[in-house]
Amino acid sequence: MSLNVGDKAPAFEGVDQDGNPIKLSDFAGKKLVLYFYPKDNTPGCTTQACNLRDNYDALLKAGYAVVGISSDTEKKHQNFIAKYELPFPLIADVDKSIHEQFGTWVEKQMYGRKYMGTARTTFIIDENGVIEEIISKVKTKEHTAQILD
């Protein structure tokens, strides 16, 4: 499935690091930064999460809620959040159902080997659940600037 700016965001539902349900409708009336990343505790993903953490107040002031999604387990998310003091929830999309809804579970290639993995992508969703922006070329060190500019 390919999503475009102006499309209604898929009505996803998942669980966060503590097993609490999170769904798109929870953010009705708010802007949402929904970011998909490959794996907890890897260099690029850690840099990205810490950039969002370090600029979290600016994101909140701009009216955004932030939610991260990877295919890691709730337990791995708990450890990642604790280790880096992340102030936002992470959805454990172990079955990749939300990835499928957003088209972020894709065939990738490294060193000539093909495999399935997460396309690092951020969806900016407006107060009405419409995709306002899709950032597919994420700069992990400057991600907040990409969102706020």
Domain definitions of the chain by residue range: 13-148
The CATH superfamily assigned to 13-148 is: Glutaredoxin (3.40.30.10)
Distance separating alpha carbons of residues 79 and 17, to the nearest angstrom: 9
**Catalytic residue numbers?**
45
pTM equals: 0.96
What are 64-73's pLDDT values in tens digits? 999 999 999 9
- Count CB atoms within 10 A of the CB of residue 9: 21
What are 117-143's pLDDT values in tens digits? 999 999 999 999 999 999 999 999 999
Distance separating alpha carbons of residues 119 and 139, to the nearest angstrom: 13
Ranges under pLDDT 50 in the chain: none
